[in-house]
Copies of this chain bind each other. A is one copy, B any other.
Amino acid sequence: MSLDWNDLKVFLALERGRSARAAAVSLGTSHSTVLRRLQTLEHALGAQVFDRTPEGLLITGPGETLLHKAQQIEADFLEVEREVAGADVVLKGAVRLTAPPAVLKYLMLPILADFRAKYPEIEIEIVSTNRFTDLNKRDADIAVRFSEEPDDYLVGRRLPPFHDAIFCARGTADPQGMGWIGWTNTVRFQERIATTPFSNAPVDWTIPDLELQAQAAREGLGMALLPCVMGDRDDRLQRVVPHFTQPTLTAWLLQHPDLRRLERVRIFAEFVFAAISKQSRFVAGIG
Contacts and interface: CB of A to CB of B under 8 A. Distances in A.
24 contacts: A1-B260, A1-B266, A3-B81, A5-B5, A5-B77, A6-B6, A44-B81, A46-B84, A46-B263, A47-B85, A47-B87, A47-B88, A49-B84, A62-B87, A65-B84, A65-B87, A69-B79, A69-B80, A70-B80, A72-B76, A73-B73, A73-B77, A73-B80, A76-B76
Contacts of A131: none
A80 B66 contact: yes
Contact of A69 (B3, B76, B270): B76
| Interface residue tally on A, bucketed by range | 35 or more
B5 A81 contact: no
A85 B5 contact: no
Contacts of A266: 1, 46
A267 to B, nearest CB: 8
A38 to B, nearest CB: 14
A77 B46 contact: no
A88 B62 contact: yes
A14 to B, nearest CB: 15
Contacts of A62: 84, 87-88
A4 interface: yes
Contacts of A267: 46
Nearest to A78: B3
A66 B84 CA distance: 6
Interface in A72-128: 72-73, 76-77, 79-81, 83-85, 87-89
A48 interface: yes
Contacts of A47: 84-85, 87-89
A263 B6 CA distance: 21
Nearest to A74: B5
Nearest to A89: B46
Contacts of A77: 3, 5, 73
Contacts of A5: 5-6, 8-9, 77
B61 A83 contact: no
Contacts of A83: 65-66, 69
A84 B64 CA distance: 9
Interface in A168-208: none
Contacts of A233: none
A54 to B, nearest CB: 24
Given A5-B77, A72-B76, A76-B76, 16 more contacts: A3-B80, A5-B5, A5-B6, A45-B81, A45-B85, A46-B267, A47-B87, A62-B88, A65-B83, A65-B87, A66-B80, A66-B84, A69-B79, A69-B80, A73-B76, A73-B77
